[in-house]
Amino acid sequence: MIGNDIVDLALAQKDSNWRRHGFLDKIFTEKEQLLILKSEYPETMVWNLWSRKEASYKIYNRQTQKRGYFPLQLECFTVDIINDFYYGNVIINEQIYFTKTEITSQYINTIAVLKVSDFDSIQFLKSNTAIQKDNGLPFYRDPKNAVLKPVSISHHGRFEQIVCI
Amino acid sequence: MDKQEIIEKLRSIVKPYSNNQNAFDNLTESTDFISDLQINSANLVDVILDIEEEFDIVIDNQSMERMLDVQSAIEIIELKLSEK
């Protein structure tokens, strides 16, 4: 299983005022808020953490069939920063997800997986790939062996990304 | 405050965040904020903060969890208003 999220930074800046009273409290834990407020680029950190929560939620939603709005329960931990990639974990209840987040000046993109080795087998699908939905969740039929693979789709502003393992 | 009044207030709250005009024009209790109105999930927090301000209530995390459609929003607003 895989989850992804992409944030178009220009659109996020236009559509969201993260400095709004109450905004951070509803989405981020105290530790995460400290990370944001201490960051040299707080806005980038807001979307960095947000995209990790969103990507992980997509797997969680698939695993549990539980739909809801509980960003505070998905807590982000940063493990390593290599070049412009943040590697980390998102933890909810007992479940742990591994996240890889790319930070650019235009977008922030997170891919979440269940085990680290999955990062090596990510496939990026073209935007015109035939996707079928089952119970609201997207799948892709691999033409090589006709196996149905779970995919994750993220679209925001100028960017779209479709991934599967 | 009756249900119709709450729906009308909700309608004006979600308007600036809605990305599907048709679903917005046909808003009912069963309208889903994300799958129907296509509100960006990062803007759902704005909807919740706007509801808190408009109705002068506090939406706790447990209530926020199920704040995904008009019907749940009405239930939560009614509950919080009754507790005031």
Number of domains present in the structure of chain B: 1
Element holding A4 (H helix, E strand) = strand A2-8
pLDDT tens for residues A27-41?
999 999 999 999 999
Let me know if domain A2-164 sits in CATH 1.20.1050.10: no
Q: pTM for the full model?
A: 0.94
ipTM for this prediction: 0.94
* Range list of H helices, chain B: 3-14, 21-25, 41-55, 61-65, 70-82
Chain A contact probe: residue of B37, B65, B67 with most A CBs at under 10 A: B65
- CATH code at B74? 1.10.1200.10
- Domain range for B73 is 3-82
Cα A91 from Cα A73, distance rounded (Å):
8
What is the residue type of B15?
K
In this predicted structure, the answer to whether residue A83 has a pLDDT above a threshold of 90 is: no
Contact status of A68 with chain B (Cβ, < 8 Å)? yes
pLDDT tens for residues B13-23?
999 999 999 99
Rg (CA), chain A: 16
CB under 8 Å to A155, separation ≥6 — which residues? A6, A161
Q: Tell if the CB–CB gap between B43 and A68 is shorter than 8 Å.
A: no
The edge-to-edge listing of strands for the beta sheet with A148-156 is A123-125, A159-164, A148-156, A137-141, A131-134
CB under 8 Å to A137, separation ≥6 — which residues? A61, A62, A150
Residues paired with A81 in a beta bridge = A86
Contact status of A2 with chain B (Cβ, < 8 Å)? no
Residue stretches of chain B with pLDDT short of 70: none
The residues spanned by each domain of chain A are 2-164
